[in-house]
Each structure stands twice: as C-alpha cells, then as structure tokens.
Structure 1
Amino acid sequence: MTGTETIIELGVLRVLTLENETDVALHGRVIEKHFPHVSTRSRCIPNHPNGIPSAEAEVDALPYILELGTEMGAQVDALAISCALDPGVSKLDERLDVPVIGAGASVAGSALARGRNVGTLGLEDGTPSVIKDILGDYLQATETVKGAETTNYLTTPEGRAATGDAITRLIEAGCDVVAPSCTGLTTSGVLTNVQRRADIPIVDPVVAMGAMAATAARPGGQTTDQTSTRHEHP
C-alpha cells in the first residue's frame, strides 16, 4: 500500500455472539488480509450464541442488528453485515449515510462473475432467499452441510469433512462455481483447504463482502493523500 492510498474504515457486524474479541474480529482480519487498504472494526450482537440458523432466529436478531448497525454506521465509511441472510441490510441502508453490504448478495454477485452454473452450500435451513433471487436461473444445484443446524458445527472436524463432501456433490451436479451461503464456512477455515482440491472456484462469502464494501465505499478506486472522511451523525 502506498502513502497515497485511502484507508477505508469498514464496520463488520457479526450476528454470532462471541465472547472472545479475537474471534469477533476474525472476519475483519480475513478482509484486511485480502484488502490492505481496508481497516475493520468488528462487533457482534448479544444473545445469539448460535447465530441466525432459522427464520425465527432472524426475526429475533433483527432489532439487535438494527441498533448495533446504526451505532457502527456513524463511525465508519461502510458497514458489512457478515451473514448470508443479509439481515437488516435494506433497513440500515435506508437509515445510514454509508453503504451497507451483506454477505449474501456479495457472494451471489461474485459467483456470477466466475460462472454460469452456480452451486450453493449452506446450513440445513437451506439457501437464503436473497441469494436465490440474485442467482435466478443460474442456480444449478443446492447442497447443505449434513448435521449443520448452526454455524458452530462447521468448525468441528465432522463439519469440515461434511463441507468437503457437499462441495464434491455440487461439482458432480455440474456446477462450475460454488457460492457458500453461510459466513460460518469462512470461520471454519475449510474453504481454503477444499479449494486446493476442487477444479472449480469456491467464492469466500466474507472476502466477497469485503470486496463489495470496499468498492462501494470508494467508487472508481480513486486515491487521495487524505484519510477517509467519517460520516458522523449529530
């Protein structure tokens, strides 16, 4: 990164309640690794130790997401909701003066840039509607990680093995790109290992979200000698 590169402050909102600050910051660190001009601030909502594994959990989590997102949005250049359901994205985008990006729309859009027969992979609750809507007729096949009722299962040895098996099934179904529909698959670390063995691209939803957020925060990729402008609310 050169001295003239603008630093983008990106808020990363986690919908999985975590006690360890290092764990909370994991998705932000992944983004910073791929985009050195992005600096992340990560926080998580309370009272959701299993994340948002169902529609009922999403309804319960939404007030927390809106409250925390509104607070974070006043301190950053863009806000990323690190969940493939994109909960609260549209409401926060209307409310805030900064771009609000969800992992679901990001991974779907990125997958379409890599292929035309997209396979999705998620928890047992299925593929989020936001991803289905964007992919449309390009959705070739869907798979779930067997036994993954919540994101916590994805970090277990059994969950990692089941993830690899599911991606193999997507390849056998004729998919030419995989769009993981759960950011917990980034947390598990399995995507990098599986990508080494797969013959088709596997889009990391957190990396895709970081790319979309960085682009939205600085249209056209312009550089400046000044630091990024904060969007403060009175």
Structure 2
Amino acid sequence: MEKGKEFRVGVIRVLTSEDQEFVDMHGNIIEQHYPGIKCISKCIPDQPEGIHSHELERIAVPKIVETARSFEDVDMIIVSCADDPGVEEIRRALPGMKVTGGGETTVSLAMRYGQKIAVLGIVDYAPKAYLRMIPEKIVALGKPEGVDSTLDLMTPEGRESCLKTARELKEKGAEVIALGCTGLTTIGIAREIEDEVGIPVIDPVLAEGLFAYFESVRR
C-alpha cells in the first residue's frame, strides 16, 4: 500500500439500524485490528431482523447491490454477512471492484486450522460459501436453541445457548469452528468460545478485515 494512503473499504451491514454507532461496529473492529484501513459503513433499508432465511436473502440482495453502488471512492466492498448475500451480484454490477463477504473469507481461514470444520450460526443450514468450498469438511452444523435472528444473540440466554452449542460441536469431532453469522462478532463471543472449548474459532468480521488488509498491502 502506498505509504500514508488509507485503503478505503465500504462495509455493508445487512441488518437495518438508525444507530450509526451500531452500523459502524464491524468497520470499527476491522480498523482496530488492521492498520491503514478506513471503513465507511452503511446498512440496507427495511431489513430490521437482518437475513435469517432464504426468503429474506432474496429480498435483501437488490438492496445490497444498490447500497454497493452508493459508495464513492472506495477500494473494496465487504458484505458483512457470513452467507455472502449479493457478493456475486455486486461483482457483476461493479466490474473491477474488489468485493468479498464474511462467508468465503471465513472458510478460507478455517481450512488453515483444521480439516474437520463445524459451523455455528443462527439458521439450520450452512452459508453458501461453506457448502461451495468445503462441503466434505463440514462435520457438524450448530444452531443455538432459542436463537432465530441476530437480535436473539444479544440476550444473556442467546449467549449461553451459543456456548452450549459450541461444546456440542467439539464433541461431534470439530477441529475448528467457523462462525456462520456476523452477529456473533457483534456480541464478541469468538474468544469466549475458544476459551470454553479449546479449539480455534474463526470470526467472520476479522476474516473479512484480514482479506481487506491483504488487498491493501498488495496495492
């Protein structure tokens, strides 16, 4: 990266919020961990529960592409969601723009830590990138009881349910846990899960940020 020049990343949140501090949260985490990156964060409209079903994803994708088009003077766009909604559509709409999401980046890192990968998320299916890239390596899929949306993660009950599910995933043979929802980053639980179960946990927002950092140093 050119010395003194920031690498500007447009971060798209797929959970609607009027609280800009909340919208900025994932971008702030990336900035805190990776020097030289400046994140500009926006959320899509009219998606108050985020994306936790195929139908909600179908509705969200056009909004995600439109939000991507609205960024000015960015070097990269990140869709901060582990299912990578709209990533391929943005690549087609904005040829030449570097684009990634929480799914493909998390999977890429998970494969460096183990061959038996468990997915911990908020839906009962694995994100698309996980199924595309590592279908034969997924040994278990865990959805915490009582957690049906990102909002459920932000309760004490949701947090404890996540930890319980992580323990069960290790018992099923997981060598590494790939988080299947960026909402798990929002509640800051990855390190707690690692301490609880004693195996690596891949945080999708940190994975997104690492790939942005790689692009920044290559520029």
TM-score by length of 2: 0.94
Matched with 2:6 is 7
Determine which structure has more spread, i.e. the larger CA radius of gyration. 1
Matched with 1:186 is 185
Distance (Å, rounded) in 2 between the aligned partners of 1:196 and 1:101:
29
Distance (Å, rounded) in 2 between the aligned partners of 1:147 and 1:176:
25
From 75, 78, 95, give the equivalent of 2:76.
Answer: 78
Where 2:27 maps in the other structure, the secondary structure is helix
Matched with 2:164 is 165
Where 1:137 maps in the other structure, the secondary structure is coil
Alignment of 1:1-234 (within 5 A): 4=3, 6-72=5-71, 74-96=72-94, 97-219=96-218
Distance (Å, rounded) in 1 between the aligned partners of 2:213 and 2:63:
24
> What is the one-letter code of the residue matched to 2:46?
N
Deviations 1:205-228 (A, max 9, x none): 100011112323543xx6xxxxxx
Say whether the 8 Å CA contact 2:65–2:93 is kept in structure 1: no
Say whether the 8 Å CA contact 1:125–1:149 is kept in structure 2: no
Distance (Å, rounded) in 1 between the aligned partners of 2:73 and 2:5:
16
Distance (Å, rounded) in 2 between the aligned partners of 1:129 and 1:4:
37
Say whether the 8 Å CA contact 1:81–1:101 is kept in structure 2: yes
Distance (Å, rounded) in 2 between the aligned partners of 1:26 and 1:127:
24
Deviations 1:25-44 (A, max 9, x none): 00001111110211111010
Distance (Å, rounded) in 1 between the aligned partners of 2:68 and 2:124:
25
> What is the one-letter code of the residue matched to 1:175?
A
Shift of residue 6 of structure 1? 4.1
Matched with 1:232 is none
Shift of residue 170 of structure 1? 1.0
Aligned length: 218
Deviations 1:142-176 (A, max 9, x none): 11111111111011101100110111011111111
Where 1:61 maps in the other structure, the secondary structure is helix
TM-score by length of 1: 0.88
Say whether the 8 Å CA contact 2:163–2:196 is kept in structure 1: no
Where 1:167 maps in the other structure, the secondary structure is helix
Q: Which runs of 5+ in 1 are unaligned?
A: 223-234
Say whether the 8 Å CA contact 1:53–1:125 is kept in structure 2: no
Say whether the 8 Å CA contact 1:14–1:82 is kept in structure 2: yes
Where 1:87 maps in the other structure, the secondary structure is coil
Q: Which runs of 5+ in 2 are unaligned?
A: none
> What is the one-letter code of the residue matched to 1:129?
K
Distance (Å, rounded) in 1 between the aligned partners of 2:69 and 2:124:
28
Distance (Å, rounded) in 2 between the aligned partners of 1:119 and 1:192:
16
- Taking only aligned residues, the RMSD between alpha carbons, in angstroms, comes to 1.7
